[in-house]
Amino acid sequence: MFSKSCKYGIKATLYIAQKSQHDERVSLKEIADAINSPIAFTAKILQILAKATIINSTKGPNGGFEIDKVQLSKISIHQIVEAIDGNRLFDGCVLGLNSCNAKEPCPMHSEFVIIRKQLSETLATSNLLDVALDLNLGLTVLKR
């Protein structure tokens, strides 16, 4: 479903979100520890997310990553997926045809209209604040 990069990206963003809620800026190392990911590779993904203005990065001592607290409820998982994996999951033909639409569909097209709508909506209506709250309560986890 999601690439490995994207999974790391989502988990990293959620961890940053959780900490940002309490005004804590977190370092690359702390993030990689928290989500059990390779540190240097995680750095690359965080760069992508920073360029997409989903997270903020600060260099230097006490630098690290954070998300504007008031933005938490306005950022969706959909945005993260788009930034890292692009939108072929939402747009592209399930069977990989170059073009595929209602008029000239692949054999799976119609079956996937509903599934993708649900997927897209679920990801679009999710938001970092809600997810961070569950993390705080220990209802969900980011590694294991």
Report residue 7 as tokens: 């999974």
Q: Which of 13, 18, 20, 37 binds DNA (CB under 7 A)?
A: 37
Instruction: Please tell me the distance from the alpha carbon of residue 112 to that of residue 121, in angstroms, as a whole number.
Output: 14
Measured between its terminal Cα atoms, the distance across the chain in Å is 20
Confirm if 43 and 63 have CB atoms less than 8 A apart.
no
As measured in angstroms, the least distance from the Cβ of 5 to DNA is 4
Residue 142's binding partner, choosing from a second copy, DNA, none, with beta-carbon cut-off 5 to 8 A by kind?
a second copy
Residue 102's binding partner, choosing from DNA, a second copy, none, with beta-carbon cut-off 5 to 8 A by kind?
none
8-state DSSP, 127: -
Helix and strand tally (H, E) in the chain?
6, 2
Nearer to DNA, 15 or 127 (CB): 15
Q: Specify the amino acid at residue 122.
A: T
Give the x/- contact pattern for DNA in 84-123, rule: CB under 7 A. ----------------------------------------
Q: Which of 36, 53, 58, 110 binds DNA (CB under 7 A)?
A: 58
The tally of CA atoms less than 13 A away on the side-chain side of residue 53 is 2
Q: Interface residues with DNA (CB under 7 A)?
A: 3-5, 8, 27-29, 37-41, 43-44, 46-47, 50-51, 57-65
